[in-house]
A and B are shown apart, each in its own frame.
Chain A
């Protein structure tokens, strides 16, 4: 049995998972239009590979990755591309981003896809390529391209592969339902990823209260996989927190799990890898939880790009201004005023809550409750002061960038200070300043190089000019002659000290 460790801070929250975790998921019908953002992952956005008016098939690549940290986008169903342009997207920093608009033809006809024969004989590098081609970005929340994590695994010795089924945010049960309904996908996917990174150990972790999911997995795992339940505490499913819980190791500040020999993937990612390897199927759909004040809270299997409105309608909800829509969980989700945006690869939950009047922000009373609950052992109060003062050096020194934005600090703040909001803003400000600093440094370098070049050019041209006497000016010539005269006279004086004055010598010449 694996010894579990405790991570610092954290909160016990009301789970509210019983609303949806026992209900069979529903296959969401084809929407009238789908919006596929070019960027659904961390890294560079994909580049469109289709034109308006093109007919595409389900699973066909419609945008190609740009660079290493990027994944392609696939058509979620067969149909026609009707537009490529800016549409609303669920993103905390920008409200609109480039999307490919797809009008389904209703056939849902698959593109040519083919399975990989016997994955355990395939080269790990080949699996990695396949996983990228299938557009697999972490389905847990951050959306880190899966192949990058795998590549690191291939290049470094991996001790432990962790398959993360710890859904610590309240309300969200999409991974829970996925495990219950597709446990074999998760377990097989875990084995495939394990083969791809050649990990020594593989652990599948679920939360203590996920009994049904645990049972479903327990029937499938063998000695090769460890199945572990971790205590219910927010944010137990955070990458660094889960690593700490399972291994007792801490990911170094600013580092990645691979630096301590760990690769961690979400259960949904594992299931997606299974589909990719056994059928060649790219990511075209995912599980999402629709809950809160809707008539029929349930998990949906939704095609990527389906508008959130359609998902809500399926659950018997029509949007009204009295309610707010949260995309994601109540602790880290994004609040939107109208649900006119698509479900993307990282969308795990939609919650409808009643609009409560916002409580005003009061001055900090220095109670320090925020520091007690911070799972990253940061000093939220000090970060707040430094963010207010715009002190980038101190913000870095106090590890602003290790903040995982879990929201524990703001949850307990008696003064209702929206700390996470301030940290997010400070992060983008520090990054911006750094970019500007880099630009300035680059400009200085360019300038220095240019002046060096000009000087060298000037030097060489002068050297080239020097031997040509006709180019010398008259004054220079004269000065040269006079210099020579002075030297000769001095020599003469030395040779015949007895001679008369300089004037005579001159005439002698």
Chain B
């Protein structure tokens, strides 16, 4: 008899959404370790918290929606969302900030739109923007160099009312640059100060440039494994350079260099891990280039003229809005179609 359950092909390359997501997690590890090494173990605690919250919430929502949690939890997509969210927020954020962000990401940004494959916005970035808007004070308290101990991290994440995280915090390079440029200071002037804590490193923010560098290496691993394709990361980085370079050439004392932008804030994380989320990105290759350049350009514009020091999350969400349009306009000509 003919077996209708097994249509050809009878072979498969063995990859699944789960293995893809596992590769993404592996690629994040070097950057994460570097982050924890430089700025204290807070980021790891945030990751653990976020993953726990995300799995619990995903389980609950899947049950409510009548889906099989065992099957859908195994795809690992919610774990990746949680990790990307956790490395995006400040390691000093209290636990309830993490919970709120994850809840928004999983319940609203992901499942309200239909779950994996259907969400219009990148869930991690939606959650991040949600908590940024709700808790600006907590979200803008970033740790300073050198790394603090695990005790201080725990105090900050689980505040008991007495210790303020201010003691650990300091301005990030993007922050410092933005604030002082607004005070009409020169870039060279700002960067030349060597106070404590150290804010500027070799090319960008002290510490942050290394984290970005390791995210870049993680991204190259993903490219080598075929998990992501080159179009989006290259386009994002190209967008960053293309928009920042003319300003920098016009007046290097008022605008930071493209190199500074590439290795500051969340640029590399965005280019290789966030913008490459296939569900919320364009599906055609010309569309992916447009989508990437759009994100890169928006990152620079938002950093220069936006209200927040970094613009990665907003850039990604704004570009997400344009994806259906980009897909429509870049639909490849069907072969033989004139």
Contact = CB atoms under 8 A, between A and B. Distances in A.
A332 B9 contact: yes
A358 B5 contact: yes
B302 interface: no
A366 B8 contact: no
B10 A335 contact: yes
A4 interface: no
A92 B8 CA distance: 10
B64 interface: no
A326 B75 CA distance: 30
Nearest to B15: A414
B116 interface: yes
Given A88-B1, A365-B116, A416-B16, A421 B335 contact: no
Given A362-B17, A410-B9, A411-B11, 18 more contacts: A330-B8, A333-B10, A337-B2, A362-B75, A363-B115, A363-B117, A366-B117, A367-B20, A379-B331, A399-B335, A407-B8, A407-B9, A411-B9, A411-B12, A411-B13, A412-B13, A414-B15, A416-B16
Contacts of B334: 378-379, 397-399
Interface in A342-380: 353, 358-360, 362-368, 371-372, 376-379
Nearest to A90: B2
B162 interface: no
25 contacts: A91-B2, A250-B335, A252-B336, A253-B335, A331-B11, A332-B9, A335-B10, A338-B1, A340-B1, A362-B72, A365-B116, A366-B283, A367-B20, A368-B283, A368-B284, A378-B334, A379-B331, A398-B334, A405-B8, A411-B9, A411-B13, A412-B13, A414-B15, A415-B17, A416-B12
A360 B13 contact: no
Contacts of B133: none
A324 B5 CA distance: 11
B32 to A, nearest CB: 24
Interface of A: 13, 88, 90-92, 95, 170, 250, 252-253, 324, 326, 328, 330-338, 340, 353, 358-360, 362-368, 371-372, 376-379, 381, 397-399, 402, 405, 407-408, 410-416, 418, 420-421, 424
A336 B5 CA distance: 10
B19 to A, nearest CB: 7
B7 A418 contact: yes
A368 B17 contact: no
B20 A414 contact: yes
A309 to B, nearest CB: 13
Contacts of A424: 7
Most buried by A among B10, B11, B13, B75: B10
A13 B14 CA distance: 12
Contacts of B3: 324, 335-337
Nearest to A94: B2
B62 to A, nearest CB: 13
B278 interface: yes
Interface string B213-247: 00000000000000001000000000000000000
Contact of A420 (B9, B15, B278): B9
Contacts, number: 128
Interface of B: 1-3, 5-13, 15-17, 19-20, 71-72, 75, 77, 115-118, 229, 278-279, 281, 283-285, 331-332, 334-336
Contacts of A379: 331-332, 334
Contact of A336 (B2, B9, B71): B2
Nearest to A364: B117
Contacts of B283: 366, 368, 371, 381
A90 B11 CA distance: 19
A351 B139 CA distance: 60
Contacts of B279: 365-366
Contacts of B116: 362-363, 365
Q: Which of A92, A328, A338, A363 has the most CB of B within 10 A?
A: A363
A456 B74 CA distance: 74
A192 to B, nearest CB: 34
B33 to A, nearest CB: 27
B148 to A, nearest CB: 39
A15 to B, nearest CB: 12
B117 A334 contact: no
Contacts of A410: 9, 12
Contacts of A362: 16-17, 71-72, 75, 116-117
A353 B6 CA distance: 12
A25 to B, nearest CB: 24
Contacts of B5: 358
A358 B7 CA distance: 11
A332 B10 CA distance: 8
B303 to A, nearest CB: 29
A330 B116 CA distance: 30
A360 B278 contact: no
A415 B285 CA distance: 20
Contact of B10 (A331, A338, A371, A408): A331
B287 to A, nearest CB: 10
A326 B10 contact: yes
A167 to B, nearest CB: 16
Nearest to A95: B2
Contact of B117 (A337, A365, A399): A365
Contacts of B281: 366
A421 B4 CA distance: 9
Nearest to B228: A367
A160 to B, nearest CB: 21
Contacts of A324: 3, 6, 10
A418 B6 CA distance: 9
A328 B15 CA distance: 24
A90 B1 CA distance: 9
A333 B2 CA distance: 11
Interface-central residue, A88, A337, A338, by most chain B CB under 10 Å? A337
Contacts of B9: 330-332, 407-408, 410-411, 420
B199 to A, nearest CB: 39
B12 A337 contact: no
A414 B19 contact: yes
Closest CB pairs A-B (n = 3): A407-B9, A363-B117, A421-B7
B8 A359 contact: no
